[in-house]
Structure 1
């Protein structure tokens, strides 16, 4: 995987901030759970599948995916590396002013296969949700089409997220759909 440049909506964490985040424990007991089909007890499953355009290219889509592209489509990212790697940490920032949410995460799984590319991150203390989210590109060999699947297994972690649970779930679903649509543009040759 080639390095994607830092830039629009992406910055690199200081070494001290990255080290501090790496020392934090996950806020849920089952890192890697999104590789399966069943959410652990207490977590809700959200899965969004999106077929990319017929001319979408797996390698182009993977460069965007591993450059924090889905997260950059909805907010700002400060990461230990401009390219997703096993163990990378990041602060995901959504919103503006007093409505800004910062969500610390650590990458728990990276997949590089001939027809599959993807990764997952888990929540760290300070994240408004507890759980894990996975972003996976799969080439459907029968149709030749790329499919991006966004899988989240989570629950609200803060009192204010629990109070706004129906709204929070709607926002999470909308973000998953936006993540998926962002892959359409990134996967096209000559974009």
Structure 2
């Protein structure tokens, strides 16, 4: 049995990003969907890049994880600009025929409180999408001071995830 507990998280609705559109009262929702390309090869490449932290590292984000691949209970610390350390823990993963990804929840010391998911999905027509979904609220003074600018940064970050993952996933630019 894991010594890790849901009490370690800085919010109550652990795992709730599995439910599309869920946002607890008092939190700000985020939902950004980016078309990556088409086909099984694009899906597999995108899924692998998300599950192995490659997408995040390609963004220039520092990632320290207790495993090489996303899995429940893996601890992840995201470092922004070499200054802000954001500790998280993976709360769920998915590796299915047409869907792959994970979500992490915030731990004590993170500037925000909440959960964020990164899911690659291949639709019936073969189109491959990245969806970044989250619910969050400020936990540190500097995140509170940022107000709408902090949420704007989160939106820009989610859009940038899609751009970077498209670049990593599409071997032939004509496929995008």
TM-score, normalised on structure 2?
A: 0.88
The equivalent of 1:103 in structure 2 is 86
Q: Cα offset for 1:190?
A: 7.5
Q: Does 1:45 align with 2:29?
A: yes
Tell me, what secondary structure is at the counterpart of 2:12?
coil
Q: Does 1:156 align with 2:156?
A: no
The equivalent of 1:174 in structure 2 is 156
Aligned residues: 168
Equivalents in 2 of 1:38, 1:133: separation in Å?
11
Q: Root-mean-square deviation (CA), in Å? A: 2.1
Tell me, what secondary structure is at the counterpart of 2:69?
coil
Q: Does 1:60 align with 2:45?
A: yes
Q: Deviations over 1:25-53 (max 9, x none)?
A: 00000111111222011111100000112
Q: Is the 8 A contact 2:36 2:170 kept in 1?
A: no
Equivalents in 2 of 1:29, 1:128: separation in Å?
16
Provide structure 1 residue ranges, at least 5 long, that are not aligned to the other structure.
Answer: 1-18
Equivalents in 2 of 1:175, 1:169: separation in Å?
10
Q: Is the 8 A contact 2:37 2:129 kept in 1?
A: no
Structure 1 stretches of at least 4 aligned residues deviating more than 3 Å after TM superposition:
none
The equivalent of 1:9 in structure 2 is none
Out of 45-54 and 122-131, give the one that drifted further.
45-54
Q: Cα offset for 1:165?
A: 1.2
Aligned positions of 1:113-152 closer than 5 A: 113-141=96-124, 143-152=125-134
Tell me, what secondary structure is at the counterpart of 1:53?
strand
TM-score, normalised on structure 1?
A: 0.81
Q: Is the 8 A contact 1:69 1:182 kept in 2?
A: no
